Amino acid sequence: MIKEFLKKRWPFYLAGILTLIVVDTLQLFVPKFISRAVDGLNVETPDVSLAKLMALGIIGIAVGMFITRFLWRIFIIGSARKFTYEARKVLYDKILSLDMSFFDKHRSGDLMAHFTNDMNNIERMFGPGIVMMVDAIFMSSITLFFMATSVGWHLTLIAIIPLPIIAFISLTFGKFIYRRSRKVQDTFSDLSGFTEEAVDGIRVVKTFSILPKFQEIFSNRAFNNFSATISLIKVWGIMWPLIHFVSSLSYFLTIVYGGPMVVNSKITLGEFFAFNNYIGMIVWPLTAFGWVINILQNGRASYSRIKKILDTQSTVKEPSKPVKIDKIKSIIIKKLDYSYPNANRLVLKSIDMIIEEGQLVGIVGTVGSGKSTIVKIISKLYPVERGHVFINGVDINDISSETVRTKISYVPQETFLFSTSVKNNISFALDNFDEWKVKEFAMMSAVHKDIENFPKGYDTIVGERGVTLSGGQKQRITIARALMRDADVYIFDDCLSAVDPETEEQIIKSLRKSMQNKTMVIITHRLKVLQDADMIYVFDDGEIVERGKHNELLQNEGLYARMFRKQLIEEEL
C-alpha cells in the first residue's frame, strides 16, 4: 500500500521537500539582514538607508516564507492526509470483506484503534515526520554553515559543544513519552469503552440498582486515565526545561568566548547578534533528530499492525467462477461435521437436513446445541468444507457470498439498530423504497401500532443501538428490516425471544400467510409456534436427535415431546 501511494504522490513530496528547504534557507537570512542593519547603525555615521533596505528585505523574506510554508504544508501534510484517507477506506473495505471468524477473535475497540491511533501514527510519519527529517538533516547542516561564516569555526565549535546533548535528550525522553502516550490512549479507550457500555446498558444498571458500583468503576478508570496523563505531563515538564537549559549553556559559552571577540573587534556586534539567533534556530533541528526516530518507529509499528489485517485472508473463500442462481429451490446438508476455525471441539456432528422451496422449517433444541451455527453456515457467514452444503444441488463453495446473502435474509439473535429513524432502520438495505412498503412489513411484524405511538412515528430516532425501544420492539423492527429484502429464504434465529408468546404466534401466522411462496427457517424455544411447520429438526449436543412434524414428534416421546410438555406446564403456572 505504501509503495503504490508513494508512486502516485512522490512529485508532491519532492515539491514539498524543495519548498521546505527554501523556507529553511530563507529564515537563515533574517539574522544576516539584522546583522547588517545593526552594524550599519553601530557606527559614528549611522546608515539609516541600509537599515531600511534590510527591513524591506526581511519583509520580502517573510512574504517568501509565507508562500513556501503554505506550499510545503499543502504538498507534505496534504499528502499525509491523503494517505490516511485512502488507507482508512482500504482498511474499512478489507474488514467488511472478512468473515465472522475474524470478528470472533478481534474486539471492536481494537479495530477502532487501528482507524484512530494507528492511522494517526502513520499520518505523523508521512507528514510531520518528513518535515522533521528535512529540518534535522538540512536545517542543522546549513545553520552550522551560516554560524561558521558569521563568526568563524572556532566560536561555532565552542558554542555547539552542549547541543548534541539536546538530540540525546529528545531521543531518550521520546521513548518515555511514547510509552506514556500509549498508556494515556489505552486508559482513555478503556474509559470510553466502559462509558459506552454503561450508556448502552443504562436500563440494566438502573433496574439492578448498581449505579454506585458503576460510578466507582468509572471513577477508577477515570483516575487511571488522569494518572497516566499526569505521568506524561511530568515527562514533558522535565524534557523541555532540560532542553532550554542545555541551549542556554550554548548562549553562556557564546557570551563568555564571543563577548571578548566583539570587544577586540574580531567580530562585529551584528555578527555576534546573528550568531546568537542561529543558536536558537539550531535547537529545533537537533530536537527533531530524536522525534524523527520515535515517529518513524511508531509509524512503522502502526503500519505493521494495519498490514497484518490487510494481509488477513477470509476463511470463506470466494469461487473464481461463481455459479449464478436465480432462485433458491432447495438447501441440502449432508454428513456435516463442523468446528469453528482454530477450535478443536465439534459443534455440529453428522448433520443431514433438507429444506425445500416454500417450506416452513423449525429448528429447536437445547442451549448450545448448534442451532445458530447451522443457519450461519447456510448464510455463508462461516467457512465449510466442500461436499456438505448444497444450494439447488450446487456446492455452496461454488456460489459467491454476495449471491447467497442476497437470496437469504438472516435475522440474528442479537438485535442491532442504527442511531437513525425507525423508517431508515427498516429500509436500511434498500436505496430506493416506498414508505407504504415500510409500513406493510411493519404491520406484518406486528410493530406498526407501536411505531404509530412513537413521538414522531416512523421518523422517530431510536437512539444508540435502539436504546429508546423495548427488547420486543427492537426485535420486531429487525424482522421488518429483513422482510424489506425480496429474498428467497428468510431465517429467523430466535429473534422473537423478547416478544410474548401470543405476539410471536401472530407474527409467524402473518408471515406464513403473506409469504406462501417463500422459504422460512425459524429457530425458537417456543415450540407452540411450530405446530404448522413442514419439518422440525431437534438438536442436542451438536446432533439432530429427532426430525418430523409437530404431531409426529409428540408421538415419539423424545426430547421434543418433553420440551413441549414442560412449556405447557410453565404456561399453566
Is the separation of the CB atoms in 483 and 441 below 8 Å?
yes
pLDDT of 208 reads 67
Residue 342 has pLDDT above 80, yes or no: no
pLDDT of 393 reads 93
According to the 3-state scheme, what is the secondary structure of 317-359?
CCCCCCCCCCCCCEEEEEEEEECCCCCCCCCEEEEEEEEECCC
Instruction: Give pTM, 2 decimals.
Output: 0.74
User: Residue 499 — very low, low, confident or very high, per pLDDT cuts 50/70/90?
Assistant: confident
Rounded mean pLDDT of 459-470? 78
pLDDT of 243 reads 84
φ and ψ at residue 197, rounded to 5 degrees = -65, -40
Rounded mean pLDDT of 321-350? 89
pLDDT of 203 reads 65
| 207-225 per-position pLDDT tens digit | 666 778 888 888 998 999 8
| Strand 330-338 with 389-391, pairing | antiparallel
| Sequence-distant (≥ 6) Cβ neighbours of residue 431 within 8 angstroms | none
pLDDT of 498 reads 72
Rounded mean pLDDT of 58-76? 93
| Segment (H or E) for 65 | helix 48-72
Question: Torsion angle of alpha carbons 365, 369, 373, 378, nearest 10°?
Answer: -50
| Sequence-distant (≥ 6) Cβ neighbours of residue 60 within 8 angstroms | none
Rounded mean pLDDT of 70-94? 91
Nearest alpha-carbon partner for 118 in 309, 370, 361, 341 = 309
| 137-159 per-position pLDDT tens digit | 888 889 888 888 888 888 889 88
User: Residue 179 — very low, low, confident or very high, per pLDDT cuts 50/70/90?
Assistant: confident
Number of neighbours of residue 438 by Cβ within 10 angstroms? 23
User: Residue 198 — very low, low, confident or very high, per pLDDT cuts 50/70/90?
Assistant: confident
Give the Cα separation of 549 and 406 in Å (integer).
29
| Sequence-distant (≥ 6) Cβ neighbours of residue 29 within 8 angstroms | 57, 61
| 241-300 per-position pLDDT tens digit | 888 888 888 889 888 988 888 888 888 888 888 888 888 888 888 777 777 877 887 788
pLDDT of 390 reads 95
| 223-245 per-position pLDDT tens digit | 998 998 899 889 888 888 888 88
Rounded mean pLDDT of 172-189? 79
Q: What is the mean pLDDT of the chain?
A: 86
Rounded mean pLDDT of 370-383? 91
Is the separation of the CB atoms in 357 and 332 below 8 Å?
no
Instruction: Tell whether the torsion through CA atoms of 196, 200, 205 and 208 is positive or negative.
Output: negative
φ and ψ at residue 129, rounded to 5 degrees = -60, -45
Of 3-12, 23-32, 104-113, 334-343, which has the strongest mean pLDDT? 23-32
User: Residue 171 — very low, low, confident or very high, per pLDDT cuts 50/70/90?
Assistant: confident
More confident residue, 91 or 191: 91
Angstrom CA distances, 142 to 147, 226, 246, 287, stand at: 9, 43, 21, 16
Burial of 432 (0-12, 13-18, 19+ CB in 10 A): exposed
Is the separation of the CB atoms in 296 and 131 below 8 Å?
no
| 444-464 per-position pLDDT tens digit | 888 898 899 888 888 888 877
Rounded mean pLDDT of 27-54? 87
Residue 61 has pLDDT above 90, yes or no: yes
| Segment (H or E) for 394 | strand 394-395
Residue 327 has pLDDT above 70, yes or no: yes
By residue count, the chain amounts to: 573
Rounded mean pLDDT of 76-89? 90
Nearest alpha-carbon partner for 277 in 254, 243, 246 = 254
- Which 3 state secondary structure label does DSSP give 534? coil
Least confident of 20-34, 299-313, 370-384, 385-399: 299-313
Give the Cα separation of 563 and 554 in Å (integer).
10
User: Residue 573 — very low, low, confident or very high, per pLDDT cuts 50/70/90?
Assistant: low
